[in-house]
Amino acid sequence: MNPQMEPWPRRFDERLHIFAHGETFDVDAFLAASTLRPDYVWRRERPLTSGIELLIGDGRKIPPSEQEELAMAYLRAHQQELKALRCFPGVETLILGLVYICPVDATGIAVMPWSQLVRQADDLGIVPTYYVTIDGR
């Protein structure tokens, strides 16, 4: 699989994924040392960040509870590689992006991941974050 460089993936915030980035993150050195194979890679000069995306699924098509189950399975299956990514020089941010599609007529919203997922991600130094999209906008 060849990681793409540009353009930025459509609806990046609706992709169930893990991404890592940082101003001094040398993605090529990471790729040479890791068995993880990102689906998207970007390289930018400082002060912008370089990083990788590990796509788990399409958040628009997968209900939140299934996203969390998929995420936990991914974290378990790649635990050692993700720990190495977290400790890799230059990685400043490591996020598990989950997706919630909110109906356009909703009057309010609060979304939190399962506590089991939060603990599992925290053990790996990953921050689980829900991206909320208001459907139809």
Range 75-83 average pLDDT: 97
Range 2-13 average pLDDT: 58
Query: pLDDT-based confidence at 1, cuts 50/70/90?
Result: very low
Residue 130 has pLDDT above 80, yes or no: yes
In the block, tokens 């893990």 appear at: 18
Q: What is the side-by-side order of every strand in the sheet holding 40-42?
A: 40-42, 50-58, 15-22, 93-102, 127-134
Residue 54 has pLDDT above 90, yes or no: yes
CA gap 53, 8 in Å, rounded: 11
Average the pLDDT over each of 12-16, 33-37, 103-107, 116-120 and give the range with the smallest value: 12-16
pLDDT of residue 83: 97
